[in-house]
Amino acid sequence: MHGAMAAQLTRALFNNSENVQYTNPGIRSVEPTDGAFVAGLGGALAPQQVLLLPFGDGAEGSAFKVRLYGWYHFGDVSRAGSVTWLPLVLAEMRVVLGAVNGLPYRNIESKERFACKLELLSGNPGFYGRLVDGPIAHAKVDLAGCHKFSFDFAQDELSPGVFGNVLFAHASAF
């Protein structure tokens, strides 16, 4: 029998992203801290996957895009200035907002809508990963052994002015 620990959902951004285009984080010489979440840094084991529930501030049927980056480092962490951090796109999705919205004065407000459809634009959700459409669409994406992960948002060309965000939780493969 396989099991998984329950994981609490976390809001990636306090305020929804107003990015028109992706910010493209680029290679870094210092550890990413702003908007990067620990996936297994400092240990031999890391969560296998992340569960994503995209949502946004926009009309039903409008859309935005989101990228999930896995951050990897190489170099000798005990020597200052010898480490390089690389962001790799694990998955990029187009998110279509549906009819299910949040609740007044809650973490997901009544003006925000959950995704009803996810379209994979690039990357790969992995062997156990999947995109699931529905009243509240969600995705499970393999973290592929990354040390940290982060999100980047962009407005969809067909739906300008939609501000995106995502809830996430660490997940297991089963």
Q: Give the per-residue pLDDT at 1.
A: 41
- Is 139 within 8 Å of 93 (Cβ atoms)? yes
Q: Give the per-residue pLDDT at 82.
A: 86
Q: Taking the domains of the chain in order of start, what are their residue ranges?
A: 13-171
Could you tell me which of 57, 67, 59 has the C-alpha nearest to residue 15? 57
Q: What is the pLDDT of residues 161-170, one digit of tens each?
A: 999 999 999 8
Quote the pTM value: 0.90
Q: Give the per-residue pLDDT at 100.
A: 96
- Is 164 within 8 Å of 170 (Cβ atoms)? no
Q: What is the pLDDT of residues 104-160, one digit of tens each?
A: 878 889 899 999 999 999 999 998 899 999 999 999 999 988 889 999 999 999 999
Whole-angstrom distance, CA of residue 64 vs CA of residue 66: 7
Whole-angstrom distance, CA of residue 36 vs CA of residue 26: 13
Q: Give the per-residue pLDDT at 174.
A: 47
Q: Give the per-residue pLDDT at 72.
A: 92
Whole-angstrom distance, CA of residue 66 vs CA of residue 54: 8
Q: What is the pLDDT of residues 34-72, one digit of tens each?
A: 888 888 655 555 568 899 999 999 999 999 999 999 999
